Structure 1
Amino acid sequence: MSTAAVTLAATIPGEHVRIAVNKDTEPFWQAAKERRLVAPQCADCQTFRLPPTPFCPTCQSKAVHWVELSGRATVYSFAVVHGFPGMPELVLVPAVLDLPDAPGARLVSNVVDVAPSDVTIGMSVRVDFSPITDGWLLPVFRVDGEE
């Protein structure tokens, strides 16, 4: 039996994360600052889209409304990354996440505070928010204990 400590998945330290905000993405980031997860939905055909875009990829409408989501997600795909430039001990689990209350939308984020070997496709996760530069909060996901 090994007594080696298990390294938990983390995210890049917040002081190293910068985001670009524009008129199409600002509602997403403002909601995150309030610890809310939202997704843009076409006001005409109801298609959800992430990342936010200036027009709907289905019907090309520019009309959009922002829907507040539950914060629950399912791991669709993931990778395990050992090391990051200048941070060789960092272990990341970037994941593509299905958002059940925004059908068709997927979000790329990090799964954190879990042993990378425990992450599985189909795993239920829930949003949390991690501080980054300029006062913003980055959505990250933790194992959902309410399955």
Structure 2
Amino acid sequence: MMTNAIIPLVYGLLIGKSNDDYNQFFEKLFEQDNFQPESIMTDYEGGTIKSVKEMLPNVLHKAVWRQVQSKGLATKYREDESFRLKVKKLIALAFLPVDDITTAFDLIVDEFDEEADDLLEYFGKTWIGEPKRRGTGRKKPPSDHKL
């Protein structure tokens, strides 16, 4: 028996790289019985990433999951439905209009307890932008909100 192995189950060879092309691909997969993936690994095509986020919003973003694990919060994520929902709210920020992301992040942060401070610091620095030391606003994050 193999454990901790990644086994590709579906390969998609598409003619185009647009979001619509990938959406059509995933729609065909959804027509198959019981297609409910727990995780998806893709190449770094913008259309693929956008389509996965749109069509499979409950698939936890791998980068955030790694941080949940590295911060010692994996058990809490699996066992605490409220905590799991809060983490998913963080991931769902990607679906908001760009101008609303920072405000929504600040509201979500208030829902967490102190145990998640390291996770929230990572998320803020990486995806939202660190608060500026003086004044208001935030520094630009490493990845652009418009992606």
TM-score by length of 2: 0.22
Of structures 1 and 2, the one scoring higher in RCO (CA 8 A, sep 6+) is: 1
Which structure shows the bigger proportion of residues in strand conformation?
Answer: 1
TM-score by length of 1: 0.22
Give the number of the structure whose alpha-carbon radius of gyration is greater: 2
Which structure shows the bigger proportion of residues in helix conformation?
Answer: 2
